[in-house]
């Protein structure tokens, strides 16, 4: 049965450590991934919130162009792409669509649609496209999407998303664990369809 997968990009399809070398270089720091225990990075840098936001906006195209893939993401996503639809839903701004599509093409990651919504509120977009499952690294997004859309949400474990999760949010440590969970979920869906 064909499913539509809603997938976050940054820290989910791209490696969650992607930003750190850029920050360390720009601000002459030595932050390690393990230190990043919250999503907002402002407290970790030695500049004001506005200055950091400005730096981020200016550097987004470079960061997104050079972000490495998360381990295992490509093989798992491209496997799913043969029987399901992959809708990438990201908080990136719409002006970054070309750099984003180019990244997917260069990295050989298949996609059906990329929607850059320019905000972290993905619920409306997840509902609009009727996605059946979502993949995230941001804790509050994962919980909100599960609660509002009533779909399973796979949360990729990172140091910055350690808060407790409800039962419908499934914490995994890598894409291979996500693949196992989804395989099992798809089998259950098929079974339920046969039963009903
Ligand atoms: Mg993300």
DSSP 64-114: HHHPPBPTTHHHHHHHHHTTSEEEEEESS-GGGHHHHHHHHHHHT---SEE
pLDDT at site 130: 98
Using 50, 70 and 90 to split pLDDT, how confident is the model at 60?
A: very high
Question: How far does the centroid of ligand 1 lie from the alpha carbon of residue 192, in Å?
Answer: 32
Does residue 192 carry a pLDDT above 80? no
Q: What is the mean pLDDT of residues 172-190?
A: 95
The pTM assigned to this predicted structure is 0.95
Does residue 196 carry a pLDDT above 70? no
For 138-171, the pLDDT digits (tens) are 999 999 999 999 999 999 999 999 999 999 999 9
Q: Are 78 and 108 in contact (CB under 8 A)?
A: yes
- Which positions ≥6 away from 165 have C-beta within 8 Å? 139, 142, 143, 155, 171
Across the chain, what does the average pLDDT equal? 96
Question: How far does the centroid of ligand 1 lie from the alpha carbon of residue 137, in Å?
Answer: 5
pLDDT at site 189: 83
Question: How far does the centroid of ligand 1 lie from the alpha carbon of residue 84, in Å?
Answer: 21
Does residue 193 carry a pLDDT above 90? no
Question: How far does the centroid of ligand 1 lie from the alpha carbon of residue 193, in Å?
Answer: 32
pLDDT at site 72: 98
pLDDT at site 100: 98
Does residue 194 carry a pLDDT above 80? no
Sheet-wide strand order for 169-172: 113-116, 85-90, 4-7, 133-136, 153-156, 169-172
% pLDDT > 70, the chain: 98
Q: What is the mean pLDDT of residues 21-30?
A: 95
Question: How far does the centroid of ligand 1 lie from the alpha carbon of residue 12, in Å?
Answer: 6
Question: How far does the centroid of ligand 1 lie from the alpha carbon of residue 126, in Å?
Answer: 15
Angle, CA of 25, 44 and 28, to the nearest 5°: 20
Q: Which helix (H) or strand (E) holds 55?
A: helix 49-66
Question: How far does the centroid of ligand 1 lie from the alpha carbon of residue 16, in Å?
Answer: 8
């Amino acid at each position: 049965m064909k499913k539509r997968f809603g997938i976050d990009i940054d820290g989910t399809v791209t490696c969650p450590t992607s930003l750190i070398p850029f920050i360390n270089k720009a601000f002459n720091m030595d932050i390690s991934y393990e230190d990043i225990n919250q999503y907002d990075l402002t407290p970790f840098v030695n500049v004001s919130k506005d200055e950091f936001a400005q730096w981020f906006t200016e550097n987004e195209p470079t960061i997104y162009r050079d972000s490495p893939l998360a381990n295992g993401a490509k093989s798992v996503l491209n496997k799913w792409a043969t029987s399901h639809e992959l809708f990438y839903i990201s908080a990136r701004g719409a002006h970054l669509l070309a750099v984003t599509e180019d990244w997917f093409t260069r990295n050989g990651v298949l996609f059906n649609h990329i929607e850059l919504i320019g905000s972290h509120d993905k619920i409306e977009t997840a509902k609009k496209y009727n996605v059946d499952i979502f993949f995230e690294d941001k804790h509050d997004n994962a919980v909100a999407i599960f609660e509002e859309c009533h779909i399973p949400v796979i949360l990729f474990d990172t140091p910055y998303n350690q808060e407790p999760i409800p039962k419908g949010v499934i914490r995994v440590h890598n894409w291979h664990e996500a693949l196992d969970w989804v395989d099992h979920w798809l089998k259950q869906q098929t079974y339920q369809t046969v039963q009903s």
